[in-house]
A and B are shown apart, each in its own frame.
Chain A
């Protein structure tokens, strides 16, 4: 716009001028242009031949009318006078000097254009020669991405580069940029760590390159659609990823085991302690009870030792003999060998025991069912143990 000749209008003010101003402009341009050829040029054929004058007037009107054009809000008009750039026109209805004096080229600025690199239309439609590239560590990587761009400067866009297709220019910049960026980084970095960074670096480099040629193109976005190892080694890479997850899983499993085992052990320890505490209390209480019982009996025993002794002995024998199976054998009466079917006798004494040999053997020792039935059995067992202790003592 800055190239406006001072005598031509004043479009620098920005916003679209109204129709009135345009017409005024148009008049001024017209008179400015033909002004040099002496006044009244436009009205010359006035009084001469009415018919020819009318035709000339109509032709002139059509010619002038062909200079009207409309610039959409997404567009800019670039006006060339005899091939030389004169101004950029903003959106709105516009008029330029009709051909061959001025021509206008409409450039769509804000329309977002897209270039696909490594694929076309669909990500499955790959272009391996575009998508496969080398990384800094000598690996091959498969990248597909899309570049979105707009035009930022219509005159740069039109005048600086010969582009039959601006997509091709952007694609070349994209290819050289992505390969440079990827070539500087390791495969793991590109694949897993910094996709965003790769896209950002590519955007920056592309913009630098395009600005170097003053293409008037502005890269708005680089979308990495796909960054993956080539198909041939995909399985190995997937497996390595899975291995990473396996590692975590194994660790978690170990942790789960620890979380199970340690609290259980703590619980078990607490149980041991409680049991020991209980045992201590019980043993002491038993001892106290036993001791006081003994003391009381002893007091009575001391009053009549002989009788009490006799009575206690007989009581004991009665209790034993009434509870057990007994066979009385007078050894003095016969020297011959006496046959006693002990096992049969025992079985006869315990009718239910044949069914359960385990239980039977347990019963033979005389502890199991006794303990189950009598709460006091424990303490008796302990008495036995203590008895052993005591007998061991001097």
Chain B
């Protein structure tokens, strides 16, 4: 009994050891190269459990997902109008030909990324040099990115890599130019502000002037109509007076004169210097003379 269980145990353990030496797992995210004494025997790019010869064969894994290289700092480029711009970009890439990849960059991710970035930078230098800054910022941004992707991808094939996308991130003026841009922005805003204020003033003046005109017209029309009314009244009154007074013009003159005298002298402040020889005082004198 006892030796049998021991045998079973030993058998199981040795089976496990052999299995652990000859089996390996390729993850969904990985692709593997099987080496036999330093020579590439085959590539396992499907996930699952795989086997190899124990001890003589070894395995290296590579990530087959999409990876990103991001430029750490924007680089200075010259546009077609000889202006400096600071541009940075990121690259999306993945390993497609792992053998090629291993042979060219030794399977080193950093080295692959450096290589890719170098290509991107040199292509960008060429492309940005063909465009104006305006184009790079807005007009041909997509076109430039497409060209970048194409050219970088063509070069990346040499290292067994596919470039899925190259995208520009920052397209900025260098800091020493920024200041002059700010000045120009300020000047432009000032002109906008001035124009707004001036048109505001003009609008306001127009409205005021229009109001003044309306007032003048309204008042003048009213004055005209009022004067006409007054004239009508005066005319009517004159007709009435004439109708009455023409019955006896001589008496009218007398009567009206008396009224006028009364109105003319009626205050203590009116000073009359009277000659006693006047008609009114004839009795005053006569009486004294008697």
Residue A94, interface by CB 8 Å? no
Which single member of A136, A138, A284 contacts B236 (CB below 8 Å)?
A284
Q: Name the interface residues of B236-287: CB closer than 8 Å to any CB of A.
A: 236-238, 240-241, 243-245, 247-248, 251-252, 254-256, 258-263, 265-277, 280
Residue A196, interface by CB 8 Å? no
Residue A378, interface by CB 8 Å? no
Task: Let me know if A280 and B271 touch, CB within 8 A.
Answer: no
Contacts of B74 in A (CB 8 A): 129
Task: Let me know if A254 and B207 touch, CB within 8 A.
Answer: yes
Which single member of B219, B252, B262 contacts A272 (CB below 8 Å)?
B219
Residue B208, interface by CB 8 Å? yes
Task: Let me know if A184 and B138 touch, CB within 8 A.
Answer: yes
Bound CA–CA A44/B269 (angstroms): 153
Contacts of A286 in B (CB 8 A): 237
Output the least CB separation between A77 and chain B (Å). Answer: 14
- Which of B4, B203, B243 neighbours the largest number of chain A CB atoms within 10 Å of its CB? B203
Bound CA–CA A324/B270 (angstroms): 5
Bound CA–CA A162/B65 (angstroms): 5
Interface SS, A side: helix
Task: Let me know if A48 and B47 touch, CB within 8 A.
Answer: no
Output the least CB separation between A335 and chain B (Å). Answer: 14
Task: Let me know if A320 and B277 touch, CB within 8 A.
Answer: no
Which single member of A83, A240, A255, A312 contacts B196 (CB below 8 Å)?
A240
Task: Let me know if B66 and A277 touch, CB within 8 A.
Answer: no
Task: Let me know if B1 and A273 touch, CB within 8 A.
Answer: no
Q: With contacts A85-B28, A136-B137 known, is A321 near B241, CB below 8 A?
A: no
Which single member of B49, B138, B169, B205 contacts A176 (CB below 8 Å)?
B169
Which single member of B164, B185, B276 contacts A330 (CB below 8 Å)?
B276
Task: Let me know if A243 and B196 touch, CB within 8 A.
Answer: yes
Task: Let me know if A323 and B218 touch, CB within 8 A.
Answer: no
Task: Let me know if A316 and B258 touch, CB within 8 A.
Answer: yes
List 19 A-B pairs, Cβ < 8 Å: A82-B47, A100-B25, A133-B172, A138-B133, A180-B142, A183-B171, A213-B66, A240-B190, A243-B197, A262-B215, A265-B218, A295-B244, A295-B247, A312-B255, A316-B258, A316-B261, A325-B268, A363-B267, A386-B238
Residues of B within 8 A of A (CB): 1, 4-5, 25-30, 46-49, 63, 65-68, 70, 74, 90, 92, 133-134, 137-138, 141-142, 164-165, 167-173, 178-179, 181-182, 184-186, 188-190, 192-194, 196-197, 199-201, 203-208, 210-212, 214-216, 218-219, 221-223, 225-230, 232-234, 236-238, 240-241, 243-245, 247-248, 251-252, 254-256, 258-263, 265-277, 280
